[in-house]
Structure 1
Amino acid sequence: MGNRENAGERRKTRPAVLGGVIAVVVGGAGLGAYALFGSGAAAEDGTRTSSAQQAGEVRTGPLSAAEVTAAAERFLIAWQSGKADEAAAATDDPEAAAALLTAYAEDAGVEDVTLTAGPRTGAKVPFSVKATVRHEDIGKPLAYDSALTVVRRAGDGEPQVAWRPAVVHPDLREGDKLVTGESGIPPVEALDRDGGELTTGTYPSLGSVLDGLREKYGEQAGGEAGVELRVVRGKESEKAKLSDKTLLELSEGTPGTVRTTLDPSLQAAAEAQVAKRDRASVVVLRPSTGEILAVANSSRGFNTALQGSLAPGSTMKVITSSLLIEKGLASMDEQHPCPKYFSYGGWKFQNDDKFEIEGGTFKASFARSCNTAFISQAPELKDDDLTRQAQQVFGLSMNNWQVGVPTFDGSVPVQTDAPMGASLIGQGGVRMSPLNMASVSATVKAGVFRQPYLVSPEVDGRELATAPRTLSAGTLAQLRELMSYTAAYGTAAEAMAGVGGDAGAKTGSAEVDGQKKPNGWFTAYRGDLAAAGVVQAAGHGGSTAGPMVAALLKSGG
């Protein structure tokens, strides 16, 4: 490559060779060991670009290594040099990129930026960021990793960096911004139920929970704000119930204290369980009170355990069964159809491996998770029956839970025809989080819906959500027997082996478009504990989420 020069310092420099790899030097500050994938690759690529543009040709086909390298290099060098407009012009959305990159320097006070690219993988280039965040006379180092992807620009096919806010920082979504200044919200010291401090060092899963606690309780917990670099959420993130996030403290504030309901031993056990699996999330509740005892995710970003919106698969059959029993459409010891197939609303539904149960009872169908046993009753139901059951008995799908941190409260929309039939088995438009499905098991165990909570309502006087009615004693007894039988003899038996006492469970597998394996779900209770978990894209719930949930029920017993 030719020499580069800084706009402020016209001092020419020679390319440095680091470990045999050329590093681009800008004004004496190294961009880092940026692999050029062969001597002269960028220059040759530039020649081809010029020829193509002169001929008026549109560049098509897969991106070459040289094209990816050159496009990434243009963007990273301009960004590091503080040329926001020039860096933005190297993306496919210059206006949005310029705004965020300008704010990165001006609003966030990030300076002395050094960007070091890693090995390219296809069109994706990872890079590390080292910089200084400065506010008035305070400065602190900032370091993190990010990545960019190169695409062809519409129209001429020119390689450009695909713009998205996460390129600047992985925690950014559309509409978010980085700001450095007085936080406005004092920090909080979150405590477990025994008074021990909750930190991400001890409990890595709790990052988003601690952010949520600070957002809700920081101003009333008695602390004083400090100076920090933080992500200020925009409309898209607010819709997803994401809290503002602190990335770097320049000066510490004085924290107030907030006590939670988390149990330290169960939280530690939950952290250990999700660490064994990719994309795993779990929640443990106390049915008699609604207290959240543990919440954990194997990924440290989005809090799927509390805010996930996923099809719950056959764990939804707990709610559907309560509906069918109440309406006299099923009874645990009476014969119930479980054919290989059942068509409804233009869709042909089938069971896993196309099994059927001839002359079996509803209990047998529930324990083996027979889809057609439930969808066969769709013609007898009104479109809003399942929605009303979820709302009135289980407290779901009303968006009114007051947990103490942001949560997704389940969604069971009114549907018609085939989607309504699919909703009976937890597909269609039904969406739940592990928190929601743990609450379902807790409701069955307690006999009444008690809204889960992480912070006692006595702390701030908020009013917890309630459900309008409870199940009859007869329906509740059947529902408990169905879950107990499934834990002992059905699809949950292997996972629940060794979980003694008063226990019940239900497995689930939810198909997801474009995903080779289904999401594995499991919800269960034992004594005064209820739990639910999901392992995404992993397979059947009995063998994926089941062992995780069962282990927590054992450890808490």
Structure 2
Amino acid sequence: MRSGAKVAVVGGVFVLVAGGLGYGAYSVVLGGGGADGTESASASSEVRTGPPSKSEIEETSKGFLKAWASGDATAAALLTNNRDIAEPLLTGYGEEAHVTKAVITPGAAVGTKVPYTVKATVSYEGKTKPWSYASELTVVRGLTTGKALVDWQPTVIHPQLTEGASLKTGESSTAAIEAVDHNGKVLDKEKYPSLGPIIDALREKYGDTTGGSPGIETWVQSEAEDVPNTTLLTLAKGKPGRLQTTLDKNVQAAAEQAVKRFPETSVVAVQPSTGAIQAIANNRADGYNAAMTGQLAPGSTMKIVTAAMIIQNGLGSMNEKVECPSTVSWEGVTFHNLKDFSIAAPTLRDAFARSCNTTFIKPVKLLGARAGTALGQEARDYFGLGQDNWKTGLQSFDGSIPESSGAETAASYIGQGKLLMSPLNMASVTATAKQGAFKQPYIVPRELDGRPFATARPLPGSVAQQLREMMRYTATGPSGTGRAAMSSVGGDKGAKTGSAEVDGQGTSNSWFTGFSNDLAAAAVVQSGGHGGDAAGPVVAAVLRAGP
């Protein structure tokens, strides 16, 4: 990255300007990694141990930032604990991202972390634009040298840079798109930030089909084929192509606000009558689209499918008496209700509304040899799950209900064990119960690319009716676990709560799914606790924005 640049230091700010400066001016003070890209230590010097001191953190961070700003990738990489990985990315900052000037301002260290702001200029083929962002680095003790070094992470370069990715500036590979909702209202990333990666993914897949022209941009070039590139800066706009989606701006806006209530939250809304996805929102530190591709145990929201299986196999019906003891054992494992509650002589509707685990585990014994496959068959045949054939228009997870045995079978009946779902899956389950038939979720019309949609058999009318009644009772009945969350939701409404325990996680994941009129939604709040406490208000807020 030696590109005839030099660094000026003004008040602790490192500025890349024209000229040239070598590494030796500050390498003598700070030291660094070995020339072969590994840490090295002199046999005659004492190797320090323990956390880096305040002065070491300051010297190392300033030395690294100074070298980086100067355009000297080799010098900067030598001040990290992974020169071989760091140097190409630092080199690419000038040669591939075309950063021609960088002003880097370090902030006060917080422990071993040093925050900083970058105000850069990007220039490409006569187009120039300012670019600013903030990131941070961490100073650690080198394992072999004992020197204080920058712990190398891609986010040191830019907070959205991921492992294996790189920064690029040039003509975009696909035309920009103007995504619009089903009423033709524009959906921009600024107003709907959760849609940023969604719009990027849609652009990657459909940009060439919308009649637009490419612009000049700076972007994160993803290494993985199934992960879209992320645009960071537009130097010159191309002509965006118009892309129709099924999203609804009002429902999306409600979803955007709702997920802000709790960290690590994702929600999806689906129209039961068509399968059209009306909203997708995530509030996650990692930016992952868990709403569509998350793979998590759904807890008791899965009892919608289990209840359908029970009814269709003649093991019970909504108004038949069932058992709900405080605990039940199966294959040496004891399963509990929340706080070990029990219900005397409940109906299946009562047990569903109170989310009685033991009621839904009892059928394992009654199904005998079919117990390990019955739930998966019900999910595949009637709810369209677990067959990896959904063509939503985006990358999505279709759910997994593997064959099970022993205690794992019992756990799967209450949404635990090896069973995995996303909020999209559970919103679709609720939509299927509401409509009486599975409609594959989708975000762009199939006419755009002629892709086939997944299908499933319609639920028998009496089964669908009982599922809806049990969900309505959960949302409105005096002991329904969804009553509090759904109290502000109008129309024909129903719900199901869920809490999913995760190994090594102190608090369970909060799940909630519900419907109101022709809108179904599902949410998960990781480490959110009870379903009605965290995920419930998120779903309710989304449903209130529906028709």
The two structures have a TM-score, normalised by structure 2, of: 0.87
Matches within 5 A, 1:370-381: 370-379=356-365, 380=368, 381=370
The yes-or-no answer on 1:445 pairing with 2:427 is: no
Q: Is the 8 A contact 1:45 1:67 kept in 2?
A: no
Deviation at 1:286, TM superposition (A): 1.1
1:325 aligns with 2:311: yes
Q: Distance in 2 between matches of 1:430 and 1:269?
A: 30
Matched, 1:530 2:516: no
Corresponding residue to 2:337 among 351, 357, 364: 351
Residue 555 (structure 1) aligns with: 545
Alignment CA distance shift 1:9-1:530 (3 Å): closer
CA contact (8 A) 1:314 1:426 kept: yes
1:410: Cα distance to partner? 2.3
> CA 1:66–1:459 in structure 2 vs 1: closer, same or farther (change >3 Å)?
same
Q: 2:494 — aligned with what?
A: 504
* Cα contact 1:189–1:198 (8 A) shared by 2: yes
1:494 partner amino acid: A
| CA deviation after TM superposition for structure 1 residue 346, in Å | 4.5
User: How many equivalent pairs are there?
Assistant: 523
Equivalent in the alignment of 2:192: 203
Q: 1:221: how far off?
A: 0.5
**C-alpha distance in 1, partners of 2:128/2:72?**
22
More deviation, 285-294/395-404: 395-404
Report the counterpart of residue 484 of structure 1 in structure 2.
Answer: 472
Supply the distance in 1 between the matched residues of 2:427 and 2:491 (Cα, whole angstroms).
18
1:492 positional shift: 0.4
**Is the CA contact 2:31–2:147 (under 8 Å) kept in the aligned structure 1?**
no
Alpha-carbon distance between aligned partners in 2 of 1:368 and 1:214, rounded to the nearest angstrom: 44
Q: Distance in 2 between matches of 1:521 and 1:455?
A: 27
Which position in structure 1 is the counterpart of 2:237?
Answer: 252
1:338 corresponds to which residue?
A: 324
Tell me what 2:171 maps to.
Answer: 182
Output the amino acid matched with 2:467: L
Inter-CA distance 90–376: structure 2 relative to 1 (3 Å threshold): farther
- 1:302 counterpart residue number: 288
Match of 2:247 among 262, 265, 268: 262
Paired with 1:10 and 1:298, the residues of 2 have a C-alpha distance of 40
Residue by residue, what CA displacement relative to the aligned partner does 1:49-79 show, whole Å, maximum 9, x if unpaired? Answer: xxx9666655443443333333323322222
Amino-acid identity (%)? 49
| 1:33 aligned partner | none
The 1:105–1:420 alpha-carbon spacing in structure 2 relative to 1, beyond 3 Å, is: farther
SS in 1 for 2:231: strand
Aligned partners of 2:428 and 2:520 also within 8 Å: yes
CA distance in 1, matches of 2:517, 2:178: 32
1:32 corresponding residue in structure 2? none
Partner secondary structure for residue 537 of structure 2: helix
Q: 2:511 and 2:160 mapped to 1: Cα distance?
A: 27
Superposition RMSD on alpha carbons, in Å?
Answer: 2.9
Larger mean Cα displacement after TM superposition, 418-427 or 524-533: 418-427
Question: Structure 1 residue 397: deviation in Å?
Answer: 2.2
Gaps of 5+ in 2: 19-27, 33-40
Q: Which amino acid aligns with 2:183?
A: D
The SS at the match of 1:234 is coil
d(CA) in 2 for partners of 1:108 and 1:213? Answer: 23
Check if 1:212 corresponds to 2:201: yes
**In 2, distance between residues paired with 1:288 and 1:10?**
63
Does the CA-based 8 Å contact 2:17-2:70 persist in structure 1?
no
Specify the SS of the correspondent of 2:71.
coil
**After alignment, is 95-104 or 244-253 more displaced?**
95-104
Q: CA deviation at 1:24?
A: 6.1
CA drift at 1:242? 2.7
Is 2:302 the counterpart of 1:316? yes
Q: Which amino acid aligns with 2:324?
A: C
Preserved contact between residue 5 and residue 70 of structure 2 (Cα < 8 Å): no
Residue 150 of structure 1 aligns to a residue in which SS? Answer: strand
| Matches of 2:299 and 2:141, distance apart in 1 | 39
- Residue by residue over 1:72-128, the C-alpha shift from the partner in whole angstroms, topping out at 9 and shown as x without a partner, is 233222222222122222222221112222222222212322222222222222222
Measured at CA, do residues 63 and 431 of structure 1 come closer, stay the same or move farther in structure 2, by a change above 3 Å? Answer: farther
Structure 2 CA distance for aligned equivalents of residues 431 and 323 of structure 1: 18
Aligned partner letter, 2:481: T
What residue in structure 1 maps to residue 36 of structure 2?
Answer: none
CA 1:45–1:227 in 2, change beyond 3 Å: closer, same or farther? Answer: closer
Asked if 2 retains the 8 angstrom alpha-carbon contact of 1:292 and 1:454, the reply is yes
Asked if the contact 2:30–2:63 (Cα under 8 Å) also holds between the matched residues in 1, the reply is no
Match of residue 67 from structure 1 = 56
- Asked if the contact 2:321/2:346 (under 8 Å) is kept, the reply is yes
Is 2:471 the partner of 1:517? no
Task: Evaluate the alpha carbon distance shift between residue 155 and residue 384 of structure 1 in structure 2; reply closer, same or farther with a 3 A threshold.
Answer: farther
Q: 1:482 corresponds to which letter in structure 2?
A: M
CA contact (8 A) 2:13 2:104 kept: no
Partner of 1:420: 409
Unaligned runs of 5+ in 1: 1-5, 30-41, 47-51
Deviation at 1:336, TM superposition (A): 2.6
Cα distance in 2 for residues equivalent to 1:428 and 1:122: 40
Aligned partner of residue 289 in structure 1, secondary structure:
coil
Of the three residues 68, 73, 82, the one matched with 1:84 is 73
SS at match of 1:384: helix
Counterpart of 2:335 in 1: which secondary structure?
strand
Matched, 1:430 2:419: yes
Partner of 1:365: 351
After the TM superposition, which residues 396-415 of structure 1 pair with which residues of structure 2 at under 5 Å, given as runs?
396-415=385-404
- CA deviation profile, 1:338-374 (whole Å, cap 9, x unmatched): 3333333444322221222243332222111122222
Counterparts of 2:363 and 2:309, CA distance in 1? 11
CA distance in 2 between partners of 1:486 and 1:460 (Å): 40
1:66 and 1:184, CA in 2 relative to 1: closer, same or farther beyond 3 A?
A: same
Distance 1:225 1:418, change over 3 A: same
CA displacement at 1:456 relative to structure 2:
1.2
Q: Is the 8 A contact 1:45 1:70 kept in 2?
A: no
Q: Deviations over 1:486-537 (max 9, x none)?
A: 1112100111224344321101122234444322211111221111122232
Q: In the alignment, what sits opposite 1:475?
A: 463
Residues 148/415 of structure 1: CA separation in 2 closer, same or farther (3 Å cut): farther
Q: SS of the residue aligned with 1:186?
A: coil
Q: Contact conserved, 1:45 with 1:66, CA < 8 A, in 2?
A: no
2:121 corresponding residue in structure 1: 132
**How big is the shift at 1:187?**
0.7
Change (3 A) 1:438 1:88: same
* Alpha-carbon separation, structure 2, partners of 1:44 and 1:198: 49
Q: Deviations over 1:119-178 (max 9, x none)?
A: 222222222222122222222211111122233333454433222222212222222121
Q: How does 1:35-46 map to 2 (within 5 A)?
A: none
Q: 2:82 aligns with which of 93, 96, 100?
A: 93
Q: 1:398 to 1:90 in 2, by over 3 A?
A: farther
C-alpha offsets along residues 160-205 of structure 1, whole Å, 9 cap, x if unaligned? Answer: 3222222212222222121111112011111112212111232222
1:25 is displaced (CA, Å) by 5.4
